């Protein structure tokens, strides 16, 4: 089975990518492949950040590398937290603090419509760039529901599933998630 280096150290993201693509590729984290640098996400779009990460790993290791940049876009917050989803509270990767800040920002707001957006970039060793995008729609719950998933999953009530990603099984979430849709969009181009 062909190895696919994923430009991420986010365990939740790596697990989902392995669940979605694991029948086609052996998923290897960038750290397992020998890349230990922290790629700064200076892009203003999900695509730009995914391209930065995929390119850094691909160029450093001379291999094909896949990166995903994704986040939550809330209508009432003019699309925030968006590309700042992982660091919304000020501390990168503090999921609980990010969820708490989101609930505080939406307190008393009736418009709780939101979407998850994912941009995936496969940067091949020869410099070729392939991309995929995906979105999934829902609303933000008043309180957390469930403990499955990661990030904002326990607050995101999926329109497709009628329940939060925090309650959904991995199979249910992966059948409708933004990341799965982006990865399948990419696979069509391979």
pTM of this prediction? 0.93
Nearest-Å Rg of the Cα atoms of the chain is 16
pLDDT of residue 166: 97
Question: Which residues of 25-180 form beta strands (DSSP E)?
Answer: 25-29, 65-74, 113-123, 129-140, 156-158
Stretch 135-159: mean pLDDT: 97
Q: For residue 190, what pLDDT band results from cuts at 50, 70 and 90?
A: confident
Phi then psi dihedrals of residue 48, to 5 deg: -60, -40
Give the pLDDT of residue 67: 97
In Å, how far are 152, 166, 176 from 93, measured between CA atoms? 11, 17, 23
pLDDT band at 2 (very low <50, low <70, confident <90, very high): confident
Beta strands in 30-112 (DSSP E): 65-74
pLDDT above 90 (res 84): yes
pLDDT at 93 over 90: no
| 126, 146 contact by CB (below 8 A) | no
Share of the chain above pLDDT 70, in %: 100
Catalytic machinery residues: 69
What's the confidence (pLDDT) of residue 92?
85
Please say whether the dihedral angle defined by the alpha carbons of residues 187, 175, 28 and 182, taken in this order, is positive or negative. positive
């Amino acid at each position: 089975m062909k190895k696919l280096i994923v430009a991420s150290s986010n365990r939740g993201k790596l697990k989902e990518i392995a669940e979605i693509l694991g029948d086609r590729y052996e998923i290897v984290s960038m750290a397992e492949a020998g890349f230990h640098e922290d790629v700064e996400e200076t892009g203003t779009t999900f695509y730009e950040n995914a391209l930065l990460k995929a390119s850094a790993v691909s160029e450093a290791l001379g291999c094909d590398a896949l990166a995903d940049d994704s986040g939550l876009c809330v209508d009432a917050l003019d699309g925030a937290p968006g590309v700042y989803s992982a660091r919304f509270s000020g501390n990168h990767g503090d999921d609980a603090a990010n969820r708490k800040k989101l609930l505080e920002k939406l307190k008393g707001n009736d418009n709780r419509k939101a979407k998850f957006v994912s941009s995936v970039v496969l940067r091949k060793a020869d410099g070729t760039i392939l991309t995929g995008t995906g979105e999934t729609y829902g609303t933000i719950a008043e309180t957390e529901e469930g403990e499955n998933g990661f990030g904002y999953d326990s607050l995101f009530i999926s329109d497709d599933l009628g329940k939060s990603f925090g309650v959904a099984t991995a199979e249910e979430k992966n059948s409708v998630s933004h990341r799965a849709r982006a990865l399948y969009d990419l696979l069509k181009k391979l």
